Chains A and B, each alone.
Chain A
C-alpha cells in the first residue's frame, strides 16, 4: 500500500491510524519505549535534585523558599496543562479524519507551549538577575539542569510540531504522517506529566518546606 498517496474518507479511515501499518506500529511501540527511557532520565534528575536541594557553599543565600514564586509557576502549569488538553482534541480530530481541525488544535497546542517556554525563560533570566546562576551552588546546578532539561524537551517538541504542521499543511492526513502526529501528542503528554512532578516536587515542596 502506498501510505503517502492512498486516499481515505472518514469512513475508510482506520480506527487507529497511528498503528495501521507495520512501520507505524514499530514507531508506536518504539516511542513508548523511548518514553520509558526518558522516565528514567528524569527520575535520575529528580533524585539528584532532591539530594542537592538547598545545598550550597557555606552561607549561600538563595534557597527554595527565598526564590520560587508560585504565582508564576501556576501560570506556567495552566499553560502546559491546557496545551496537553488541546493536543487531545487534535488527536480526536485525527481519528475522525478531520485534518483541518487537527491542524488548528495542534497549532493552539504549539502556541500554548511557546507561552510556557517564554515564561520559563523569563523565570530563569529573573533568577540569574538575582545572582542565582548555574554555578552558584550545587542546588542551583541541580535546579537549572532538571527544569532546564524539561524546558529543552518543550522546545524540541515545539520545533517538531511546527515542522509537522508546516510540512503536511498541503498534503492532508495519511497513514504516514498520522503516526507522527500521534507520537508527538504522546511526547507532549509525557512532558506535561513531568511538569506536574516538577511543579509538585520542585516548586510546591520547595515553598512549603
Chain B
C-alpha cells in the first residue's frame, strides 16, 4: 500500500474499494468475499454432519436440514469455490502474462459486485426464514411445489451471481487473447493462465443455459409460466438437462484452475520445468471439450434408455485419459526435481492421492449400470467431495498460501500452514472415505435422519468427527491470515525463492500499474530462464519507461448491481404486496440508468507519467532496503 492510501480516512478507503477497477484489488475482494461464504458454507456443513452424528438425531428439523444441504451446496459451488478461484485469476493472470490490467476493468468490477450482491441476496433467505430447500440441483418438480420464497431466492440470487460470472469469463478470455506481453505466445503461457483460459471459455458456453434454466424456474414460480408443470404440458426433465448441461462443465470450471494452481506449485517447488507442458495444455483443452459431452451421466437413472446411457457412459470414461495424463505429468515433474515441502507443496502432495481416488470413483460411476446402484447414495457424496474438496479446495488452500505474499505482501506462517494441512487433510479423508461404504450399504444421500440398525451408525459418527477436524483446520488458517496481517512483515519480489513465472519478477504486492515496463518473454517460465541466464531480477523489459495508460475507478458497477438486487425483491413479492411491482420496475430503472450513464459518459482513463512511475519504483526499492 502506498503512503497515499494510509493517509485516507475510513470512509475514503471504503469508497476506494467500492469503486476500484484494479484487478489486484478486485482479486482481493473476490478472495475475501469467497472466504466469507466458504466459512458460512462450512458452518452449514458442520450442522449437517452434527445432525447425522447419531441415528434419529433431532438437532435440526427435517425442513431445516433440507435448507442446510441446499445452501451448503449452492454456497460452496457458486459463492465460495468459484469466487476464490476468480480471486486468484484476477490477482495473478494479468501478472503472469505481463499485462497492466484486465481487458475490461469496469466489467471486472461489475462481475465482482454481481457475485457479492447475488450471494448476499441468496443468503438473506436465512433472515426471511424462507430458505431454498430443493437441493443445489433444485429439480423442477420439487422446486415448483416448495412453499415460501426459498426457491425464489435461489433462482434470483443465482441469476445475479451467474451473470457476474459470465462477465468475468469473457473478461479473462479477452485479457488472455489480447493483452499478452511481447513474446508471450500461447505455448509459453503458465499453466494457471492456460487453465483460466479454458475455464473461462467453458463459463462462456455453460452459463447461458443456467441463465435460461433459472429464468424458466423464475417464470414458473413467479410469472405463471408452465415450462415444468407436466399438467400443463411442461416437462421436468428439461430442467435436469439444462441444469446438467451447465452443471457438468461447472465442475470442470472449478477443477481446471485447480489443476493450474497445482501445476505452478509442483514446478516451483520441484525446481523443475513442468513435465510434458504441451500435453498438459492439450489435456486441459480436451477435458474442457469433453466436459460438454457428458452431462447426461448425472441422469443415468432418469430413464433415458440404454442407448443414451451407453453413449454417455463411454464418453464419461474417455475423460479419465487426459486426466490421467495430467497426473503422470505431475509425478514426472517431481521425478528428478529438487522437492522442497513448503505448505503449498504439502497441499499439492496431498492432492495427488486424494484426487486420484476421486477420479477413479468417477469412472466407476461413469459405468451406467453400476451407477444405478451408486447414484444418489452416499457413494456419490463421497465421490464429489473427493474431487471438489480433494481437488478444488486443496488447490484453493494451496493457492492461498502460495500467492498470499504476492497479493498481500506478507507471508502466512509456514508452521501454522502445515498444522492447518494436517487437520484438514486427515479430517477430509476421515469424513469422506467412509461415505463410499455408506453408499454401498444402501444409505441414500440428502437424508435428514436415519433409523438405527441399518449398519450405518458408526460410519456416520466417524464421518462427523472428520468434519470437525476439517473445521479446526480452517479456523487455524483464518487465525494465520489475521496474524500475518497484524504482524505485517513485508516480503520482496519472490519470497519463495524459486518463482518461475512473471508475477515473481515484480514487488509484492505490485504497484497499481504492475509493470513499469512491459516485459519481454523469451520462453516458458520466463523468470526462471532470465535468472538462469544471469539476469538476477528475472525481468527483461520490452520497452523504455513510458507514460502508462490506466482506467478510472467507478461506482457505477455497484449501482447497477444494487438496482438488480432491489428488483429481485420486487419480483419476489410482486404477487403478495402492492409495492412489489413498483420496486421491481424501480430497481431495473436504476440499473438501466446506470448503464446509460456508463454508455453516454466518456471514460477514457488517465496517464501515469513517466516521472511518477520512476518515483514509485524508487520508493518501492527503498522500502525493500529498510
User: Could you tell me which A residues sit within 8 Å of B by CB distance?
Assistant: 2-4, 22, 25-26, 29-30, 33-34, 36-38, 40-41, 44-45, 48, 51-52, 55-57, 60, 134-142, 145, 160, 163, 167, 176
Contact = CB atoms under 8 A, between A and B. Distances in A.
Given A22-B179, A40-B204, A41-B209, 12 more contacts: A26-B179, A36-B204, A37-B208, A38-B208, A40-B208, A41-B211, A57-B231, A60-B233, A135-B226, A139-B233, A163-B600, A167-B600
A167 B598 CA distance: 12
Interface stretch (B217-225, B364-372, B466-474): B217-225
Contacts of A134: 219, 223-225
A167 B173 CA distance: 30
A44 B170 contact: no
Nearest to A140: B226
A201 B241 CA distance: 21
B205 interface: yes
A44 B242 contact: yes
Nearest to B599: A163
Interface in B83-118: 103-104
A207 to B, nearest CB: 20
Interface string B212-247: 110110011001111101011111001000100100
B266 to A, nearest CB: 31
A29 B177 contact: yes
Nearest to A57: B232
A3 B604 CA distance: 8
B225 A141 contact: yes
A52 B235 contact: yes
B217 to A, nearest CB: 12
A41 B232 contact: no
Nearest to B213: A44
B575 to A, nearest CB: 13
Nearest to A177: B602
Contacts of A163: 596, 599-600
B178 A26 contact: yes
Contacts of A4: 602, 604
Contacts of B213: 44
Contacts of A48: 212, 216, 227, 238, 242
Interface of B: 103-104, 166, 170-171, 173-174, 177-179, 204-205, 207-209, 211-213, 215-216, 219-220, 223-227, 229, 231-235, 238, 242, 245, 596, 599-600, 602, 604
A137 B211 CA distance: 22
Contact of A36 (B178, B205, B234, B599): B205
A22 B245 CA distance: 34
B178 A25 contact: yes
B574 to A, nearest CB: 14
* Nearest 10 A/B pairs, CB to CB: A135-B224, A138-B233, A55-B233, A41-B208, A56-B233, A138-B234, A26-B103, A40-B208, A44-B212, A141-B225
Given A4-B602, A29-B178, A30-B104, A52 B209 contact: no
A52 B219 contact: no
Contact of A30 (B170, B232, B238): B170
A145 B215 contact: yes
Contacts of A34: 170
Contacts of A52: 227, 233-235, 238
Contacts of B225: 134-135, 141, 145
Contacts of A33: 170, 173-174, 204
A34 B173 CA distance: 11
Contacts of B242: 44, 48
Contacts of A45: 212
A44 B215 CA distance: 12
Given A163-B596, A163-B600, A176-B604, A138 B227 contact: yes
Contacts of B171: 30
B170 A138 contact: no
B205 A44 contact: no
A57 B208 contact: no
B178 A141 contact: no
Contacts of A145: 215-216, 219, 225, 227
B209 A40 contact: yes
Contact of B233 (A36, A40, A137, A160): A137
Nearest to A29: B174
Given A57-B231, A135-B224, A37 B170 contact: yes
14 contacts: A26-B174, A26-B179, A29-B174, A30-B103, A36-B205, A41-B208, A52-B227, A56-B226, A57-B231, A135-B226, A136-B232, A141-B234, A145-B219, A145-B225
A37 B602 contact: no
